[in-house]
Amino acid sequence: MLRFLIPLLAVITAGLTASATAQDWPDRPVRVIVPFGAGGTSDVLARTVTEKLSTALKQQFVVENRTGAAGQIGVQAIASAPPDGYTIGVTNVSTLSLVPIINARTSYDPVKDFTHIAYMAGAPVVLAVFPGLGIKTVQEFVDYAKKNGKPLTFASPGTGSDGHLVGEAMAAALGLKFEHIPYRATGQALTDAVGGHVNFTTFTLSSTASFIREGTLTAIAVTSPERMPDYANVPTFKELGYSALVSSTWFSLSGPAKLRPDIVERLNGEVQAALAAPDVQQKLRRDGLLSLPMSAAEFSKFVEEEGARWKPLIESAGLVGKAE
C-alpha cells in the first residue's frame, strides 16, 4: 500500500509547490528598465502601467531609464538580467523588429534572448506638415511635392527608426522622393517642424498630438487601420487607398529568457488589467495610443511576424548596416 501512496504524495507535493511558487513573487521591488529617455511615449506608458502593477502586486515597480544606442543598451540590460522576475523592461517595434535587422552586430536576438510578457499599446504614425505650406489633404501634399523643385524634407526619430521606415514607405506608396532628416531628440525635431525648418514629420500620433491640437502642425493622415476616436477628422491612409501604409509604433514588456511561466502569466494578466482601467484608457485615447490584449504566446508570435514584415522594407531602403 505504501508504494502506491509515495507517487501520489509526490504528485500532491509537486502541485502544492507549484501553487506556492505562483504566489511567492514578487517579495521585493521589481526594476523596470526603459531604454529611452524620460518623457517619451515608452517612459510615460511604463510609468502608467507600473503604477498600477505596484498597487495590484503590493510591491514597488521602479522605472529606470537606461538610454543609448537607439535603445540597444537598455534592451541588452533586460536580456542580460537574471531570469528571476526582478528585472524586466520596455521593448518596442524598433528594438525588437527593426534594429536587429538593420544592425547585424546587435548583441541580442529578439526572440531567443527574451521572454516576451505583454503587448502594452501602439500608436500610429501621423503625417504632420508645417502649417505654413497650406496643405490639408494627402492629395494636396502629393501635388505640392511634385511641383516643388526639390524633395520635401521630413524629420523622424532617427535612421532606421519606425518613423524613418514609414516615411520611406510613404514615398514609395505616393510615388515621391523625400529627404530624410534624422533627429536624436523628438522635442527638437518637432520644434524644427513647427518652425518650418523641415516640411513634415513622421512621429507617432502620441508624440505629435499636442502640436496637432494647438494647430502648430497639421495632421494629414494616420497609419492606423481605422480613424482614431479623438482625431476623427484625420483620415487613415488605408481609407484613402494606400493599404500598405498601415502600421503601429508598439510598446511592450519583456524579460530575460527563461523567465518563470507563472510570473509571465501573472504579469500578462496584471498588465492587461492595468491597461483596461478606465483612467488609463482615457489617457491612452488622449495620447493616440491603442491597447491590444494578447497572451504572452500571442505576443511572442507577433514579434516574429513584425520582423518578417519590416525586413523587405529595410532591405529595399538600403538601411542594412546603417544603424548604430
Contact 202, 189 (CB under 8 A): no
CA neighbor of 97 nearest in space, from 88, 84, 106: 106
Query: What are the cell numbers at 59?
Result: 510591491
Domain extent listing, the chain = 25-122+249-316, 126-231
CA neighbor of 184 nearest in space, from 192, 174, 175: 192
What is the reported pLDDT for 20? 41
- Tell me the C-alpha distance between 219 and 233, whole Å: 9
- Tell me the C-alpha distance between 34 and 78, whole Å: 9
CA neighbor of 79 nearest in space, from 207, 71, 289, 131: 71
Residue type, 212: I
CA neighbor of 41 nearest in space, from 129, 131, 154, 157: 157
Estimate to the nearest angstrom the gap between the alpha carbon of 311 and the chain centroid: 17
The DSSP string of 269-324 is HHHHHHHHSHHHHHHHHHTT-B-----HHHHHHHHHHHHHHHHHHHHHTT-TT---
Do 25-122+249-316 and 126-231 come out as alike in CATH topology? Answer: yes
Fold designation for 25-122+249-316: D-Maltodextrin-Binding Protein; domain 2 (3.40.190)
CA neighbor of 116 nearest in space, from 80, 90, 77: 90
CA atoms within 13 A on the CB side of 324: 13
Contact 152, 145 (CB under 8 A): yes
CA atoms within 13 A on the CB side of 248: 21
- Say which DSSP state 151 is in: P
- Tell me the C-alpha distance between 75 and 67, whole Å: 9
CATH architecture, domain 126-231: 3-Layer(aba) Sandwich (3.40)
Estimate to the nearest angstrom the gap between the alpha carbon of 207 and the chain centroid: 12
- Tell me the C-alpha distance between 191 and 62, whole Å: 31
What is the reported pLDDT for 85? 97
Residue type, 110: P
Residue type, 318: G
Estimate to the nearest angstrom the gap between the alpha carbon of 252 and the chain centroid: 6
What is the reported pLDDT for 17? 44
What is the reported pLDDT for 260? 97
pLDDT tens digit at each of 324 positions of the chain: 445 445 454 545 444 444 445 468 999 999 999 998 887 788 989 999 999 999 999 999 999 999 888 788 999 999 999 999 999 999 999 999 999 999 888 889 999 999 999 999 999 999 999 999 999 999 999 999 999 989 999 998 888 888 899 999 999 999 999 999 988 778 888 999 999 999 999 998 988 988 999 999 999 999 999 999 889 999 999 999 999 899 989 999 999 999 999 999 999 999 999 999 999 999 998 888 989 899 999 999 999 999 998 898 888 888 887 654
- Say which DSSP state 25 is in: -
What is the reported pLDDT for 23? 65
